[in-house]
Structure formats: structure tokens, C-alpha cells
Amino acid sequence: MKMTGDYIVGLTDGEGCFYVNIHYFRKYPKSAPQVQTHFYLKLRNDDLIILKQVKKWLNLGHIYYQKEKRSNHSPCYRYEISNRDELKKLIQFFEKFPLHSPKKIKDFERIKKIFQIIDSKEHLTKKGINRISKLKLRMHS
């Protein structure tokens, strides 16, 4: 199978996830929280070759095995991009090859707004963290 940008878009529309985590440090309660952004594609074991092709085509991220403990889920592999510079390249990719799923489009737009907040250093303020929290709450809905 020949990997294409359009194939990656379709795969992301069906199986992809943009994710934001806000980490507060208990040990340093006065420090600013850390905002982590991620992109995931998760596929069953027997589809590992597809994730390898996506990784090679995009030249971003990494793949790892995810052992599943839930009885209604099977073990799988996850392709992840969490490096900010690589995520910015992924944003450029999806601007060139737009997503089709309305939910994924909205999540993509929210991730872009979160990156703008981080790039402007606003995430170091309570107002910025509140904006990110509100955007995060609206994701995956």
C-alpha cells in the first residue's frame, strides 16, 4: 500500500486524537502548570505496519506498544507525537491536507488556539490556563 496525505487524513478522522494535559505540580504549588499537547493514532496489533508507514511518511513521532487491561479492548500500538516542534509540523500538514470529520476539525482548531496561547506565553498566567482549560473541556465532544 502506498501511503498518502489523504490516507493519513482519513485515518485521523476515524482513529486519531488531539489531546491536551494540564499538569499541576503538588510539590511546587506556586509554579505555573505545565501544558502538554499530544496527537495519537491507535490501531490493533495486526495494523502496526500502517502506523510504521504513517511515521515514515510524516517523519515525526514514535510508536509504542500499549498493553490493554480492559477486557473489551485488545492490545494495540499507538503512534504519538508530543514534541512541540513536531506538533507544529503536524499542524502544517493538516493545513495542507484538511481533516473532514466535524469533530476532528473542531479539536484541530482548538489545538491550534492552545498553541497560540502557549507561543504567546499566556499559558504562564491564570487567564491563559483558564482559556486552555475551557478549550480542553470542549474537545472530544
Q: In the predicted model, is pLDDT for residue 32 greater than 80?
A: no
What does each C-alpha distance from 66 to 40, 52, 57, 70, 77 come to in angstroms?
Answer: 12, 15, 22, 12, 6
**Residues whose CB is less than 8 angstroms from the CB of residue 130 and which lie 6 or more positions away in sequence, other chains included:** none
Distance, in Å, from the CA atom of 58 to the CA atom of 119, rounded to the nearest integer, reads: 23
Domains and CATH numbers, the chain: 5-138 (3.10.28.10)
Distance, in Å, from the CA atom of 135 to the CA atom of 125, rounded to the nearest integer, reads: 16
- Work out the pLDDT band at 68, boundaries 50, 70, 90: confident
- Work out the pLDDT band at 69, boundaries 50, 70, 90: confident
- Work out the pLDDT band at 67, boundaries 50, 70, 90: confident
Q: List pLDDT tens digits, range 119-133.
A: 999 998 999 999 999
pLDDT value of residue 131: 96
pLDDT value of residue 66: 87
Give the pTM: 0.88
